[in-house]
Amino acid sequence: MAEGPGPDLKLVASYPTDGDGLDCDADDPSCGVPIDTVLQLRFDRFLRPSTAIRQSIRITSGATTRFLSPDYDLVERVLIYRPSAPLEPGALYTLELLSPTEDNAFGFRAFDGAPLSAAGAPIKIQFRTTRDETQSAPLAEEPAPDCQTINTIFNTCAASGCHKSTEDDVPRMGLALDPRRPEKWLETAIDKPAHQTEVGATTGLTLTDPERFGVAMPIIDPGRPSSSYLMYKLLRLSENYKDNQDSFASDRYQLPQVDDVQPSDEEQARLREWFVRGNPMPDGGFSLGREQLRALQRWIQVGAPLNGCK
């Protein structure tokens, strides 16, 4: 088990980017950042979920701006802030990402406690919104997957025989993901601690934001994919990041295009050393795909419902 944090967390890219809309022609009211823009931040490392909050950013302008609770896309390490109302037209905004200090505990950290560094993309970003009030309706929320989609994902996890549940065999680590028996998901996975994360004398109980992230983590934590051990076991397998064209690239966000959204080999090693034990999932030469990862993430995010699965 790794004892200390890895390298500092870095911002890879942002939308808006620093300087967007600052050099607009005065005769072009449509130039600038749309007033309904969604702030998007991509990091090089996995975040500690408890720091992916509103208090980890500071945004200032001539008007008060409020944001809804952010969404953390664990699959692509992107944090999304949606304003509760459109931004002010023609306004200059300054967005600052905070790093924890002795005087202020708020700020971004990686899952192992490493703080945000200013060494990556700018963590103080200025942009100006358009002067007209046309809205672009960006970045729609992903629909919740149906149960058949989740059945297909779990069938892949059970295909190697690791997590099938029969009367005669106990599945590996007691985790049963057989799609024919969704009641076993509730019995063995949902709100149940991952055995590989249980340390110390206490077992059978899950912890919320323990001092050391990952201890007594639920296999599936309804509403919180970034605190669900199953997600991290899947994210450690690089093949799970491919799309249908065998590409690792992603264009879901308005962020600058990246050629490879999977975590670095070093970050995957840090996950293993910190708390994600054993082999990645699925085992035995099987794999999922990035859209399946996203579907599972969304299913957990909406509460891991079992309606229609039985």
Q: Which domain holds residue 131?
A: 1-140
Domain boundary among 90, 117, 140: 140
pLDDT category of residue 170 using cuts at 50, 70 and 90: low
Of 121, 70, 59, 65, which is closest to residue 96 (Cα–Cα)? 59
Contact 59, 93 (CB under 8 A): yes
Alpha-carbon distance values, 239 to 98, 248, 272, 279, 292 (Å): 33, 9, 17, 13, 12
Q: Does residue 155 lie in a domain region?
A: yes
161: left (phi over 0), alpha (psi -120 to 50) or beta: left
Q: Tell me: do 106 and 201 sit in the same domain.
A: no
* DSSP, residue by residue, 118-150: TTSS-SEEEEEB-SS------SPPPPPPPHHHH
Domain count, the chain: 2
Statement: residue 92 has pLDDT above 60: yes
Cα distances (angstroms) measured from residue 13 to each of 10, 20, 255: 9, 13, 6
Residue 306 maps to a domain:
no
260 plus 133 within the same structural domain: no
Helices (H), 11-83: none
Query: Is 310 a member of any domain?
Result: no
pLDDT tens figures, 102-156: 778 899 999 999 999 998 888 999 999 999 988 786 788 889 999 889 988 888 8
Q: Is the pLDDT of residue 1 over 70?
A: no
What span, in angstroms and rounded, lies between the C-alpha atoms of 160 and 156?
8
Q: Give per-residue pLDDT as tens, 255-265.
A: 887 777 889 99
CATH code (residue 122): 2.60.40.1220
